[in-house]
Each structure stands twice: as C-alpha cells, then as structure tokens.
C-alpha cells in the first residue's frame, strides 16, 4: 500500500493495515461531498439539483462553521493549492486559511479519529509556510460537530514519523481493531482467524455458556470473538447472495426480496395541505427531533427570541454495548 496522510490513522493502530482496492459507498459519498464542499465555499450552487437536500444542508453547515472560524480571512479550497508534502507523503486538504495558520477537512459519517492525518497536513503546511504551530479543524457534517487539533512542528513531526516507522517495521504484527472490516486482509488476518477459531471451538470439553456469563474475562473474550465472527458472517452472506443470484444453490439458504418502499416528497404533500388539514399532515409525519426543532428555531426566529425549552419532551434513555478502542488516548480533542 502507498502510505498517504488519509491512511495514517489505520496503521497508527495496526501497522499491517491495507485498504480495500474498491472504495465502499461511504467512501464514495465522502469524495462526492468533498467536491460539493469545495465548490459551495465560493458560492457555486451547481450541485443544488444533483445532490440530496439533506446532504447539501450538511455541507452548508460545514461551510458556515468554517466561515465563522475564518472571519475575514481567505479560504482556499483549490486542490492544487491545498496539496501538501511531508516526510515523503503527499496529500490534499479540503481547505486552508493562510492568514490564520489553519486548515480544515470535511468528514462524513460517524466521529472517528483522524489525528494522525491532521498531523500530516499540519506538518506539510508548516514546512511550506514556515509556521512553527498549526491548527486543523475537522468538520463532521453529518454529526454537525467540529473537532480541532493544534500542533507544534515537533509534535506533528514526531506523530507522523512514528507511524511511518511502525508501518515500515519488518517485524510488525497485525492487531485486531475497529478498522479490521475495512482492511483488504480481513478474511485472512491470523489474529482474527484465531479469535474466530476460539469462538467456534471451545477449549473446554463442553461449551459452558453459563460459565462465560459469570466470568468477566471470559465474557470479554467471547464478545470480542463474536464481533470478529460478525464480520466474517457479513462477508459470507455477500458471497452467498452473489452465488444465489447467479443460480447456484447454498444448502439451507435462499434469496428473499421485498417490495421497494414508496413515498411522496414533502413539497408534493405541501400542495395538498389545505385539503388534508395542517394538523393531519403534521400528525402523519410524527414528532420532530429536538435537534431539528432547535435548528429550525435558530434559522427562522429572531436572534433575541428565547427558545421555548418547555416544549422539549424527553423519552427514556438507553444503554448500548460497544467494543473499547484498542488505541490509548494520548491527547485531548478540542470540541466546539
């Protein structure tokens, strides 16, 4: 694999990581919205008819946030001017603000660690502009959240060169981590196969699930092994689906299809609002999330109008289980 700034967070955890040759739909969507972001920063609205409204809203949130940060400073998004080189790596940031010593990247999907990538961009910009400190902003547009990293030259250089050294280490060993399902080697990775084998082949004479439930250490190992098996199961299901579609038979399995969902666009519903009745239409749509109501209030109401907190209803909370990160936290993120 060719090491790039965008790859660095993965080998920072598992030095053996190798990206899949084919980018998935999430990566393709991220690349598409990067282009929308670059164009819309400077007022190009050509994407209005080609991109879904919720995606345009997400990108516009990122642009508004970046403009707030920039103030009167110039925002550069031209790809040729956003390219960086550092420690033998080349990459392209989504935007940078020369007057402020800052750069920014649009991110889609869930919040994830991109600190090593941001360190590479910071290092590249510092070397090109002779700055000794740099600030990077991650604009998580789907989550409407800003994550800021600040680096000195030495901090960025150490972080980037350490990852490169681990990646080039001839004795490196794979590590089971959150990036496994994105790795080209996920179906043949020895530690993952070992975990799956342990789940499928109990070491005791009989499978004692009650014993697992009462032993915290065994319970943790079992859950980790099951998470690996889930990844293998998804790959197996995809392979089986393709073969069944091609006419093969998979013992005990068959294809199941369901009718595509039908819907009516909200603006079309609006044309019949007077006949249906305002209350009936709102009731059919259901409750509005508090976050969306706050967004509408901020966008449509005068700034000095107090928000009606008494309208916010709260349901029961929930608790879910997730695997703990395999990478220790070394620095705090600044969230805004």
The model's pLDDT over 185-242, given as tens digits with 9 standing for 90+, comes to 888 888 888 877 776 666 566 667 788 889 898 888 888 778 777 778 888 888 898 9
Give the pLDDT score at 330. Answer: 38
Cα separation, 317 vs 113, in Å, equals 26
Cα separation, 144 vs 141, in Å, equals 5
pLDDT tens column, 52-92: 899 999 999 999 999 999 999 999 999 999 999 999 999 99
Q: Where are the domains of the chain?
A: 12-177, 194-245
- What CA–CA distances, in Å, run from 241 to 226, 233, 248, 267? 22, 12, 10, 37
Cα separation, 206 vs 228, in Å, equals 22
Q: What is the mean pLDDT of residues 272-298?
A: 88
Give the pLDDT score at 205. Answer: 62
Q: Are 203 and 251 in contact (CB under 8 A)?
A: no
Do the bridges between strand 133-140 and strand 102-107 make them parallel or antiparallel, or are there none, so unpaired? Answer: parallel
Cα separation, 240 vs 254, in Å, equals 9
Give the pLDDT score at 237. Answer: 87
Contacts for 130 with CB less than 8 Å, ≥ 6 apart? none
pLDDT tens column, 85-102: 999 999 999 999 999 999
Contacts for 73 with CB less than 8 Å, ≥ 6 apart? 97, 98, 99, 100
| HSE of 46, CA atoms in CB hemisphere, 13 A | 7
Cα separation, 124 vs 160, in Å, equals 11
Neighbour count for residue 12 (Cβ, 10 Å): 23
Neighbour count for residue 5 (Cβ, 10 Å): 27
Which numeric CATH code is attached to 12-177? 3.90.320
1, pLDDT greater than 90: no
Is this model's pTM higher than 0.85 or not?
no
Cα separation, 78 vs 92, in Å, equals 10
């Amino acid at each position: 694999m060719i090491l790039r700034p965008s790859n660095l967070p993965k080998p920072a955890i598992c030095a053996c990581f190798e990206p899949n040759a084919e980018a998935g739909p999430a990566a393709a969507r991220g690349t598409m919205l990067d282009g929308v972001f670059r164009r819309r920063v400077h007022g190009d609205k050509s994407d209005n008819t080609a991109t879904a409204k919720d995606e345009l809203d997400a990108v516009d949130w990122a642009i508004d946030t970046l403009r707030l940060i920039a103030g009167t400073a110039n925002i550069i998004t031209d790809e040729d001017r956003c390219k960086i080189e550092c420690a033998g790596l080349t990459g392209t940031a989504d935007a940078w603000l020369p007057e402020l010593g800052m750069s920014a990247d649009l991110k889609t999907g869930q919040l994830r660690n991109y600190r090593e990538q941001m360190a590479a961009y910071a290092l590249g910009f510092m070397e090109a502009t002779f700055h000794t400190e740099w600030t990077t902003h991650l604009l998580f547009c789907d989550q409407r959240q800003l994550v800021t990293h600040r680096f000195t030259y030495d901090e960025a250089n150490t972080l980037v060169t350490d990852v490169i050294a681990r990646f080039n280490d001839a004795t490196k060993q794979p590590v089971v981590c959150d990036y496994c399902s994105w790795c080209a080697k996920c179906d043949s990775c020895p530690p993952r196969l070992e975990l799956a084998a342990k789940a499928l082949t109990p070491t005791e004479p009989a499978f004692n699930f009650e014993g697992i439930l009462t032993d915290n250490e065994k319970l943790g190992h079992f859950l980790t092994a099951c998470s690996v098996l889930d990844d293998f199961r998804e790959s197996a299901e995809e392979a089986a689906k393709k073969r069944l579609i091609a006419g093969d038979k998979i013992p005990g399995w068959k294809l199941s299809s369901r009718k595509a969902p039908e819907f009516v666009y909200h603006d079309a519903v609006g044309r019949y609002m007077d006949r249906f009745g305002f209350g009936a239409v709102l009731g059919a749509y259901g409750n509005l999330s508090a976050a969306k109501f706050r967004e509408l209030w901020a966008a449509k109401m005068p700034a000095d109008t107090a928000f009606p907190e008494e309208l916010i209803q709260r349901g029961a909370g929930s608790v879910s289980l997730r695997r703990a990160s395999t990478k220790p936290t070394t620095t705090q993120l600044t969230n805004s």
